[in-house]
Amino acid sequence: GFDAEEDLIGSLVRMPTSERIKAIQKMPETMEKKRDIRNRVLREITKSRHRGTQLSCCTHCLKRTAVSLQRFGNTFSECFHLLWIWHKALKVIRAEFGTSVLSYFMFLKWLLNFNLFSFLINFSFITIPQFLAAEPNNLSFTGLELFTGAGYFQQTVLYYGFYTNATINKTENGPSYNMQLAYIFTVGIYFVICFLILLFSMATSFSRNFIQPQAHSGKASKLLCSWDFNITNDKAVRLKQKNLSRQIKEDLTEVNREVLNFSVTQRVARVAVHLLAWFASLGTAVAACAGVYFFSINNLKLFAKGYENDLESQAAMLVLPLVISLLNTFTPFFYSWLGHMEKFQTPGQQIYVTIARNIILKISIVGILCYYWLNIVAPSESQCWETLVGQDIYRLVLVDFIFCLLGSFFGEFLRRVIGTTVCVSLGKPEFDIGRNVLDLIYAQTLTWIGILFSPLLPGIQMIAFAIVFCVKKVSLMMNCQPPRKVWRTAQMTTSFMFLLFCPSFLGVLCVIGVTVWRLKPSEECGPFRGLPSMYAAVSEWIQILEDYTVSKWVVWIYHNLITSELFFFILSGIVLIITYLYWKIIQGRKTMAKLLRKQIIN
């Protein structure tokens, strides 16, 4: 009654601000009722302040300013949250298509945020200082550069070759900015941060999805206790019903999974089909790599014969990215067909096998390209081989993005038209999770390799991922049907993170390491021109610091830690021990969860 409500208001008034906000948010009331309670609480707080004589005017002003800023921050946070393209889309996708399709869009959202972070770091510490020392661009812009990445773009901050090797001074006696050190330290620290973020993301996802702390709670709690009584809008209610219904179906499918028993003849036949499918997929990957190597050599010959600023010659280099994108687009369809022919027991098995075959194909192609860039392009007599590599990666990223959009049209839209008009028995297609996820990992791998040669490439990839998110979401809603077999995919996001880390990220670290420590930079372009290697800039800087007493600790860290094999050996051992202990803790928690679940059942 009224007294209970007054007691509630009084208790809220006495709470700290953060606890009060959380308490009001968790109330099982409508938004209108919550706003009324919040306003009454604020009025009571204001009255108590007016009644109190012990508080000074300055304290009143500070508290009022803090309340106003908090209200502004909450309003800004709500508006900012609504602006993100995935705010409502992810809820709709989960309700209509389940967690399997949702895992793809969650992974795409994570990569988009990741590239935003990469772009901000490179733009802040590499590109902005270069603007202060940039020379005017004398090349004309024709528009073809948007597709080739050559011509006008060669003399811009997009590529490595444009950056200066000088120390930038805005004023004569002002502070200086060493571009060589800024370039290598920004890239190096960025990769260290990426390494830590990927490890943390994998550990968090693994802990959440594999340990399964909710496994002992039973399915009844999801049915009886998960409804949000704050929802009053009819459309939101229907969306919540669909979401909850699909979650319960996924859980029941996992519990009631049937184990099929095959005869000896059937098992032999299934193994033979699997082996034949793997032989066909590996043979296709080998043939694709051979074709990529042939066109890569031809690509270098085109560059050697033509002029560097001849846009027609540069346009001819689109042949290599077109061939690679065609292989990456059509070969996965062949792998998906092989997966259907193998008739796996669960959709999860088919998706994981398809992903494994696609990762072998794409990583092999990237490996051939890296061999071509590091062992053929770098030793060649090209005037600025780093810019040439950056242009190649730019074209690969752009053409791959275009093919991704075309794949949504030809692979999903036309398939839906055929399945609903020409051959009705086919029906609408299902969203191919394996193929689409590997497209994202391939694109992100190219971006990581290209950061050293094109610092602004993460910004381009960020825009591409945002467009892909919108296009894939629209195509999914219009052209695809929910999975015929409902299944739970809690571990799929963890698998995506692992594939992004190994072999993608670890492979990129190897490529960057060889480039920085082994390869000789170009003599006439880039911040490391004239040096025997990019890493030599750090060695020369350490030699200068040895003359300053204040910087002795930096020199000590460099000689005793950074260049010490023993330090990295001990560090690797510590990491392995921590990993082993973490694994044992996980096993213990899983055992405890199983025992607790058995006790509840009994």
Tens digits of per-residue pLDDT, 72-126? 555 555 554 544 556 678 878 877 787 778 888 888 988 998 899 999 999 999 9
Distance CA 387, CA 73 (A): 44
**What ranges do the domains of the chain cover?**
1-48, 78-121+157-212+383-531
Q: What is the mean pLDDT of residues 376-396?
A: 87
Contact 124, 151 (CB under 8 A): no
DSSP track, 231-253 = ---HHHHHHHHHHHHHHHHHHHH
420: tokens are 């609903």
Asked which of 37-51, 158-172, 520-534 is least confident by mean pLDDT, the reply is 37-51
pLDDT score recorded for residue 489 = 55
Contact 63, 28 (CB under 8 A): no
Cβ atoms < 10 Å from Cβ of 548: 10
Dihedral sign from CA coordinates of 520, 526, 530, 531: negative
Kindly indicate the confidence band of residue 71, based on its pLDDT and cuts at 50, 70 and 90.
low
Q: How confident is the model at residue 425 (pLDDT cuts 50, 70, 90)?
A: confident
Helix axes 492-499, 179-209, angle to 10 degrees: 150
Report CA 77 to chain centroid distance, whole Å.
23
- At residue 55, does pLDDT exceed 80? no
Q: How far apart are CA 386 and CA 550, in angstroms?
A: 36
* Model confidence pLDDT, tens digit, residues 426-485: 778 888 887 888 889 999 999 999 999 999 999 999 999 999 999 999 898 888 887 765
The structure's pTM equals 0.77
Q: At 544, is the pLDDT very low, low, confident or very high (cuts 50, 70, 90)?
A: confident
Q: Please give the full DSSP string across 546-569, using - where no structure is assigned.
A: TT-GGGHHHHHHIIIIIT-HHHHH
pLDDT in tens, 267-325: 788 888 889 999 999 999 999 999 999 988 887 776 666 545 555 666 677 889 999 99
Higher pLDDT, 478 or 565: 478
